[in-house]
Structure 1
Amino acid sequence: MRFRFHFRLIPFIAACLLATLGIALGNWQQGRAAAKLAIQERLAARAHQPPVSLRSAIAGATAPLADSLAYRRVRLTGRFVADWPLFLANRPMAGRAGYYLVMPFKVADSAVSVLVLRGWLPRAAEYGKLPAFDTPAGEVTIEGTVVASAGQVMDLGRPAPLAPGAIVQNIDTAVASAAIGMPLQNFYVQQTSPDRTDGPELRLLRTWPSPASGIDKHRGYAFQWYALAAMAVLFFVITGFRRGSRQAEAGKREANHATGDAGR
């Protein structure tokens, strides 16, 4: 049996478009996995470094601070701006709804101020009711990890102007700086050390999610997109051969029939 391929333009274009889309999306997922792998390696390398003074780290930085200090463990001495708490909503932890408590922190004997992610608080049953927390008074020393972002969630509609005690979906350092009236660094510090106000039952949880999580998920998605691209090509090729073979068989039967009629 001879195999013949029947080419059809429209299925060919559809297969090419689907294959191109699958490869592009697969490459995109592979890129995300590679980026998170680089973050994981950077986190692992900097996790073993001792915390450094934030003032010294800023003074010694040679690149944009959010990039050069990302995932560095730092130590800060200064005061919380206690009258400007902000709450990042839709931040679940261990299956529970809650907020990240964000507060400006002014570093002592310097012009450096930074937003500190102090920890996670559970959301009350009544939405909008703010959870209770304590803020240490006076000068304190805390430790944390520098992050370029506080995390992004879907923000429907136009956010309301920032105000003390505001519940927001996302926060931008430039917007916060203008609202609070003090210059803020273009990064955040995830606090890891306890406050002196933390009691036996710690209200503020500081188990921060890893920004490098989900590498295997992205690789799995990439495989699915590549498989879709391969299936599109295979489907076009197989159906083309099957249609060509059917046409060849039909032509052969017609030829045999015509020969038989001519013989009679």
Structure 2
Amino acid sequence: MTADAGASRAKNASVALIRNWPLTAVSGLLLPLLLGLGVWQIQRGGEKAAINAAIDRRLSSQPRSPQQLDERRRFTTVRMRGYYTRDYRLLDNRTRNGRVGYEVLQVFVGDGQRWLVNRGWLPAPPDRDTLPEVARPRDTREITGFLYPVAAAGETGTAATGRRIQRIDSRIAGRLDLAQPQWTVRLSADSDTALVTDWQLINSPPQRHYAYAAQWFAMAAALVILWLFAATRIPRLLRRNSDNNNDNRGTSS
């Protein structure tokens, strides 16, 4: 047999295995896409894991006074000694465990500077027009937490008392005569003036991206199986070979 004849027979055999070319073409386009999405989600999970590691390093560092910081960065731990003022805002539409409530943003004077401290979450009263009562510690306190940036601009909600806001932004923070209006301090859970904290540090954990990647790879595997059974003659040939082998065993016996 010549080389050209062998190549022609191999080509004809491969063509004979495919019985649905449109489905084959669609599968050939979708498979790289599904695999690429799976790889991308794995990369995203790795990026989020690296971010988590960086956050953990900052949160585990020794807290210092904000005045001692050479550089202010998100999640940098701080400690201040001072007192809370009567000036606070209620950040609306914040949830914990499915319950709607508010986050309490209260001005704290520490080391001679005014800072906006997020003390955590309070549940909302059943009546929308009623605001929750916020207890104000009157004596000197030492608080610990971490820096969190203020948004550049945004919508400001109003209520009858003027305390309810939809988000904290530079416009609101600029009216409070703060030392650093571009930053808030989110209290750590072990601060005695903290409410319910349970801060969400990143929008999605690495495990979620890895789960998405597993889903994309599972879809790719399902596509290959569908293509084998719906677009090729391979299952039929395998059944035929299995039947022939069974017949040969029966004849020999």
The 5-angstrom pairing of residues 9-88 of structure 1 reads 10-57=22-69, 60-61=70-71, 65=72, 69-78=73-82, 80=84, 82-88=86-92
Aligned pair in 2 of structure 1 residues 172, 52: CA closer, same or farther (>3 Å)?
same
2:183 is the counterpart of 1:216: no
Q: Which has the larger radius of gyration?
A: 2
Residue 120 of structure 1 corresponds to which residue in structure 2? Answer: 121
1:123 positional shift: 1.7
Give secondary structure in 1 for the equivalent of 2:41: helix
Amino acid in the other structure paired with 1:73? T
Given candidates 230, 233, 240, the residue that maps to 1:242 is 233
Q: CA deviation at 1:92?
A: 1.4
CA distance 1:222–1:114, change in 2 (3 Å): farther
TM superposition score normalised by structure 1: 0.64
Q: How far 1:118 sits from its partner (Å)?
A: 0.7
Cα 1:109/1:182, change in 2 over 3 Å? closer
1:129: Cα distance to partner? Answer: 2.2
Q: Distance in 1 between matches of 2:59 and 2:173?
A: 29
TM (norm. structure 2) is 0.66
What secondary structure sits across from 2:94 in the alignment? coil
Offset of residue 121 of structure 1: 0.6
The answer to whether the Cα contact below 8 Å between 2:20 and 2:230 also exists between their aligned partners in 1 is: no
Task: Please give the alpha-carbon distance, in whole angstroms, between the structure 1 residues aligned to 2:63 and 2:24.
Answer: 59
The one-character-per-residue Cα deviations of 1:127-159 (angstroms, maximum 9, x if unpaired) are: 342111122358654211223579xxxxxxx94
Q: Distance in 2 between matches of 1:133 and 1:206?
A: 15
Q: Secondary structure at the match of 1:98?
A: strand
Q: Deviations over 1:68-121 (max 9, x none)?
A: x3322211345545334122323214x5432221234455445xx543211111
Q: How many residues align?
A: 219
**Where do 5+ consecutive residues of structure 2 fail to align?**
1-12, 241-253
**Hey, what does 1:229 align to over in structure 2?**
220
Checking the alignment, whether the CA contact within 8 Å between 1:92 and 1:99 is kept in structure 2 is no
Q: 2:164 aligns to what?
A: 166
On the 8 A contact 2:229/2:235 being kept in 1, the answer is no
Deviations, residues 153-179 of structure 1 (Å, cap 9, x unaligned) = xxxxx94446741142xx253243356
Take 1:21 and 1:178, find their aligned partners in 2: how far apart are those partners?
A: 48
Q: CA RMSD in A?
A: 3.8
Q: Which runs of 5+ in 1 are unaligned?
A: 151-157, 196-201, 250-264
Q: Is the 8 A contact 2:88 2:107 kept in 1?
A: yes
User: Are the aligned partners of 1:122 and 1:131 in contact in 2 as well (CA < 8 Å)?
Assistant: yes
The CA distance in 1 between the partners of 2:175 and 2:22, in whole Å, is 57
Pairwise CA distance, 1:33? 2.2
* Cα pair 1:89 1:99 within 8 Å, conserved: yes
Shift, 1:239, TM fit: 2.9
In structure 2, C-alpha distance between the alignment counterparts of 1:124 and 1:219, rounded to whole Å = 39
- Give 1 or 2: higher strand fraction: 2
The question of whether the paired residues in 1 share the 8 Å contact of 2:117 and 2:187 is answered with yes
Relative contact order: is structure 1 or structure 2 higher (C-alpha 8 Å, sep ≥ 6)?
A: 1
* Counterparts of 1:240 and 1:47, CA distance in 2: 55
One-letter code aligned to 1:54:
P
